[in-house]
């Protein structure tokens, strides 16, 4: 598939060309790699859907609030000694 990008700002084109050259790649190969890397990561919406599908992480045991309360009680006991 071919993609044509019109009206790309000159500074963006120059930076992409510079980055491609710094990796000894053609602009075409560099852009292919950048785009492939971009789509390899989930979008924010996909990631949020995945996190929501995981459900609550807490499966028993003390909560964070319980741990903080316990630590404060232990600290108070050390101070009172």
Decide if 17 contacts 27 (C-beta within 8 A): yes
Average pLDDT score, the chain? 92
pLDDT for 42-79, tens place per residue?
A: 999 999 999 888 877 767 788 889 999 999 999 988 88
What pLDDT is attached to residue 58? 65
**Res 15: pLDDT:** 98
Q: Determine the angle formed by the axes of helices 10-22 and 27-40, rounding to 10 degrees.
A: 90
Least confident window among 15-19, 21-25, 60-64: 60-64
Q: What is the pLDDT of residue 13?
A: 97
Q: What region, left, alpha or beta, does residue 24 occupy, with left being phi > 0 and alpha being psi -120 to 50 degrees?
A: left
């Amino acid at each position: 598939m071919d993609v044509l990008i019109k009206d790309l700002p000159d500074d963006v084109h120059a930076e992409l060309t510079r980055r491609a050259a710094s990796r000894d790649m053609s602009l075409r190969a560099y852009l292919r790699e950048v785009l492939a890397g971009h789509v390899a990561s989930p979008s924010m919406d996909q990631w949020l859907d995945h996190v929501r599908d995981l459900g609550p992480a807490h499966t028993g045991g003390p909560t964070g609030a319980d741990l903080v309360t316990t630590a404060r009680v232990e600290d108070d006991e050390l101070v009172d000694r």
